[in-house]
Every structure is written in C-alpha cells, then in structure tokens.
Amino acid sequence: PFPIPHQSTKMKTQILAIGGAAIPEDLGNLLLIEYFLSLTPKKNPRVCFIGAAHGDADMGRLRFYAGFSQFNCIPSHLPLFARTPRDLESFVLEHDAIYVGGGNTRSMLAVWREWSLDVHLRKAWERGVVLGGASAGSICWFEQGVTDSVAGPLTAMPCLGLLTGSNCPHYDSEALRRPTYRKMVAGGKILDGVAADDGAALHFVDGKLLRAVSARPRAKAYRLMRSGKRAVEKALPTRYLAKR
C-alpha cells in the first residue's frame, strides 16, 4: 500500500527515523509501524527489536511485540543485558528489518560499540536490511542528534553517521526541543538537519530523504539550516498515511 522506488540489482539502503509515539499505549494508531514494515520486500518479514536504550526493560519489549504482532511479520528481540547471542553478526543479518526503541542514546551507543553492534548494523543496512526506530532509535543513525541522555539542558551528541547531518525527535511534544535545536543550528553547535514531531517520520533511501510521513493529521517534519547567525526552519511536505 506504500510504494517505494523500484528495486534494482543493487540493494537500496533504507532508514525510517520516527520523531516519537510510533507505538501508543492503546495501540490505536500503528500507521507508522505499518509503513515501516511495508519497506521490506517480504510478505512476512523478520523484524528485530533492540531495546538497549532502556536497558532492555520489559515495557519497551512488550510494547514492541504488542504493536508489531498486529501485522504479518515475525517479531523477535536482541537482548544485550542477558544471554546475548554469541554470533551477533549472523543474528542481525538474518532479519529483514531492525527497530530500535527510545531511551538513553549515549548509553545505548556505548553498549552497541562494546558488542560491535554498530559495525553489524552498518553491514545489515548496506545489505538492504531496513533500519528504523523512534527517539533514540531515530537520532542514532545520523552524524549528530539532540539528546536528553545527560541530566540538564538538551545537548548535541555524535552518533553513527549512516545519515548526514543532525536530527531532533519529539519536536512538538517536548517544549524545549524546538528552541534548543534552532539555537544549536544557528550557533553552529550542531550540523544542519531534520526534525520530526511525534507521529511523524523521515524515510531515507540511499542516504537521501525520500519523503516525510505521519500518523497524525497535524504531525510534520522539518528541515533546519544555518543562515548567518540564525536557523532557517522549513516545514517539509508530510504525507498523512490515513489518506490512501
């Protein structure tokens, strides 16, 4: 139901960076999850959840299973705090999509690097495995992200660099996100980049933004660019997924 560019013999790399609220508590609006699953070429894709940003907490994992089980897919999860698979690379590569949950991005990336998961995820991405997630699972793929991993004011942090520029999630739901990101961009403290409201997502193909989509009528995505001593914010055309 959600067409993507024609697949050539070269595998396309895909990332869906979600601003937040992709799996609401009542499971009443799973349009972004449906869209994420549609990006794989499989009718019954194998999808893995990584919840390291929340220390593999039960709540995030259970919500993942509750949400993804509404669709034709084979859900699983990767534990990094208990009985982690011995051959982590093979485990990652056997999936069609990887979904990363939210939480503390800095701690998550530290754990990933300890296990060389960052290397394995890059290899999976290059082989056509669809990557995505919300909040920490959004900013981690960019060169830089706006994070609340450290107590106090929001800060900029280096991430994996699969996508160029910076990213800010929760653009409409957390009062300090928008002004802080704009100030960071204007002051050159973070690279130009993109932001997404809760319920909105940015779909990248081969490292370039293909489209912005949303599960809520008013949820939007934005591009921010530094111009002189200020940040220029431009709302991106955002497709409301219910209109199809």
Distance CA 142, CA 138 (A): 8
Closest by Cα among 221, 152, 144 to 185: 144
Q: Which residues pair with residue 69 across a beta bridge? A: none
pLDDT lower than 50: segments of the chain: 4-9
pLDDT score, position 6: 44
pLDDT score, position 5: 47
Cβ 171 vs Cβ 2: under 8 Å:
no
Catalytic sites, residue numbers:
135, 170
pLDDT score, position 244: 52
Cα torsion through 41, 27, 177, 159, rounded to 10: -40
Q: What is the mean pLDDT of the chain?
A: 95
pLDDT score, position 136: 98
pLDDT score, position 11: 82
Closest by Cα among 154, 197, 160 to 176: 154
Position of tokens 């990584």? 50
What are the DSSP calls for 4-61, one per residue?
-PPP-SSPPPEEEEE-S-SS-TT----HHHHHHHHTSS-SS-EEEEE-GGGTT-HHHH
